[in-house]
Amino acid sequence: MAGVSLKTVTNVVHERPYVKQETRERVLAAIAELDYRPSRAGRQLQSGRSNLITLVVPRIDEPYLGGLAHALISAATPRGLRLLIDETSSQVEQELEAANGYPGHGIDGVIFSPFALNPEHLAARSHDVAMVMLGQFLPDSTADYVAIDNLGSAADAVAHLVGQGRRRIGFLGAQPGRPGALGEVRRSGYQAALVGHGLVPPSGGIAPGRRFTRESGEAGVREVLARAPAVDALVCASDLMAVGAIRALQRHGARVPDDVAVLGWDNIVDGEYTSPTLTTVAPDLGALADQTLDALIRRIEGDRTPGREYVVPHRLVVRQSSGG
């Protein structure tokens, strides 16, 4: 050591009072000299906190989730947190472990994008870990939810398409029977907005999509074109579905946007490189990450108030696919 007691070192490291300036400097010099770094394991054992949080998603290689992870890492670092990533493959078993906070692993909090779970699963969890949910909404007693205004953004999307002269507007990615599911919320917002413009969904113009994948976008287009060949616009529950939809439309000989306009959610980077480029609802990912981490940190610090909802800004990014 540098002629000082262990306790004083702790006091220096934690910037406690009752340490003379000169002593402090001597200790800091010694720390630098020895290249000392406090052991996370020791601290965790002592404090019960690991400063590790886990982002739980079905797969990390989906473009939107990659962008989300990027935003969360950028926001976590200045807050002294480090991010683990866990993939559930949308399996109930794995999502349950996430919902229980990986007991024994010393995870401080979980940022959870659920897929297979229902509220009963959540209510039955044994441990209650600090948790913030993204994407799918699941009512829960103490977990917060952070998202854009899905009803409002659906209304923005419909208003834009109507403004472009579209009247027979279909929807891909409905999730009938799963109230609260992202696709259902967006579909209901879309439908309400249509009504607000004096329109209704064209018969057969709504296709389900259990997963928001390119494949389900392609399948949805096949379904809708078979049942409602006159649609002149498709609102897709995600950009990934929209990418698949554009490809399927082009294969069917439909021109985008001349014959059919296409619009999605998420503002994934690829939307700028499709042909035509993709009109999309862009969430403010930076704000989303900030809100998520702030809420999570409050939970980690012991906040046990009922779970609340945070809304982050979005904007409609108009590109070629909507004819704008």
Residue 37 contacts DNA per CB under 7 A: yes
State which of positions 206-225 bind a copy of itself (CB under 8 A).
Answer: 214
State which of positions 104-143 bind a copy of itself (CB under 8 A).
Answer: 104-106, 126
- Name which of DNA, a copy of itself, none residue 4 binds, using a CB cut-off of 5 to 8 Å depending on partner kind: DNA
State which of positions 302-321 bind a copy of itself (CB under 8 A).
Answer: none
State which of positions 70-109 bind a copy of itself (CB under 8 A).
Answer: 70, 73-74, 82-87, 103-106
User: Which CB atom, from 13 or from 200, has the smaller least distance to DNA?
Assistant: 13
User: Which CB atom, from 15 or from 35, has the smaller least distance to a copy of itself?
Assistant: 35
CA within 13 Å, CB half, 105: 18
Residue 19 contacts DNA per CB under 7 A: yes
CB 81 within 8 A of CB 112: no
Residue 34 contacts DNA per CB under 7 A: no
Site string for a copy of itself, 20-39 (x = CB under 8 A): ---------------x-xxx
Please report, as a single letter, which amino acid is at residue 88.
T
Among 29, 34, 45, 200, binds DNA (CB under 7 A): 45
In whole angstroms, what is the distance from residue 309 CA to residue 152 CA?
15
Neighbour tally for 317: CB within 10 Å: 17
Please report, as a single letter, which amino acid is at residue 192.
A
- Name which of a copy of itself, DNA, none residue 10 binds, using a CB cut-off of 5 to 8 Å depending on partner kind: DNA
Residue 29 contacts DNA per CB under 7 A: no
Give the chain's length.
324
Question: Quick one: angle between helices 239-251 and 63-76, nearest 10?
Answer: 160
| Nearest partner of 235 among 316, 181, 154, 137, judged by Cα | 154
In whole angstroms, what is the distance from residue 177 CA to residue 7 CA?
60
**Separation in Å, CA 65 to CA 47, 199, 267:** 32, 34, 11
What SS3 class is residue 113? coil
Binding stretches for a copy of itself (CB under 8 A): 35, 37-42, 44-45, 50, 52, 59-63, 65-67, 69-70, 73-74, 82-87, 103-106, 126, 214, 243-244, 247, 250, 269-270, 272-275
